[in-house]
Homo-oligomer: A and B are copies of this chain.
Amino acid sequence: MLPMRPELLKGHLDALLLAVLEHGPRHGYAVIETLRTDSGGALDLPTGTVYPALHRLERAGLIASNWETVGGRRRRGYHLTPAGEAVLGEQRAVWDQFATAVTAVLARRPWPATA
């Protein structure tokens, strides 16, 4: 597993978090775990990355939260808002576009791979 520089994630994190919350409501810690398992271990994000991002998404109205107490532990359960669902849809399209473009540039080789 090659080292993945942190800047790579920039701009893509929001889409990932929204996608995870589309599974169903989750609290921050669980979001991190879902992200790790869904990505096959490739995306193992620190709390200092995820929690502020969740706050940002809530301020933007894309997710909403409510405090719960489970087994004596306070946790903040997040869920998608309709606005968040809409944005997630756009973000998926943007990602597809971006990934296609980058892959195209990186795939083009000096000796034409495609005759």
Contact = CB atoms under 8 A, between A and B. Distances in A.
Interface of A: 1-12, 15-16, 19-20, 22-24, 35, 38-40, 42-43, 90-95, 97-106, 108-110
Interface centre among A93, A101, A104, A108, by most chain B C-beta atoms within 10 angstroms, is A101
- What is the total number of copies of this protein in its complex? 2
15 contacts: A4-B97, A4-B98, A5-B94, A7-B11, A10-B11, A15-B106, A24-B110, A39-B105, A40-B104, A42-B98, A42-B100, A42-B101, A92-B106, A95-B103, A99-B102
Contact of A110 (B22, B38, B91, B93): B22
B23 A98 contact: no
